[in-house]
Amino acid sequence: MSDTIFSKIINREISADIIFEDDISLAFKDVNPQAPIHFLVIPKKPIATINAITEEDRLVVGHLFYVAAKLADEMGFAEEGYRTVMNCNEFGGQSVYHIHLHVLGGKLMGWPPYTDKPKALE
Ligand code: 5GP
């Protein structure tokens, strides 16, 4: 758990385009952007999935949204709007097991957010 790629980014063992950091969180640009603006806000505490969030983590997880909104405001796309996504496990499309809030902006988002038939309906 502690050696996911995101822990390595927190520890500066691998590089990332970091746009914000505080005691609780780190935000950096997604290496494979899915929108003109696409960054991730992660807790420094390694929490594997949404399912692993404990009662004591509630303020940490809420902080991720606070940081997302603060950066959207500072970067100038808060008013036009944006999408936040946190994927959970296989069916949610999670690939890195350290929770992260995707922040996507700079284009009009579609809904529903998937393009393929969900596995659950196959
Ligand atoms: P997930 O699929 O788990 O919801 O999202 C993981 C995200 O992390 C993906 O959008 C992927 O592009 C991004 N990602 C994976 N490895 C790295 C990396 O080494 N650096 C950065 N900046 N993003 C990464």
The 3-state DSSP class for residue 45 equals: coil
Dihedral over alpha carbons 17, 110, 92, 120 (to 10 degrees): -160
> Taking the model in full, what pTM does it have?
0.94
pLDDT of residue 28: 99
Residue 95 near ligand 1, beta carbon < 6 Å: yes
Residue 48 near ligand 1, beta carbon < 6 Å: no
CA separation, residue 44 to residues 26, 84, 96, 110 (Å): 7, 19, 14, 31
Residue 31 near ligand 1, beta carbon < 6 Å: yes
pLDDT of residue 23: 98
pLDDT of residue 120: 59
| Cα–Cα distance, 41 to 21 (Å, whole number) | 9
Separation of CA 91 and ligand 1 centre (Å): 17
CA separation, residue 81 to residues 6, 17, 71, 115 (Å): 26, 22, 12, 21
CA separation, residue 30 to residues 16, 35, 113, 121 (Å): 8, 10, 18, 29
Q: Which residues are catalytic?
A: 100
In sequence order, the β-bridge partners of residue 40 are 28, 102
pLDDT of residue 117: 64
Positions in the chain whose pLDDT score sits under 50:
none
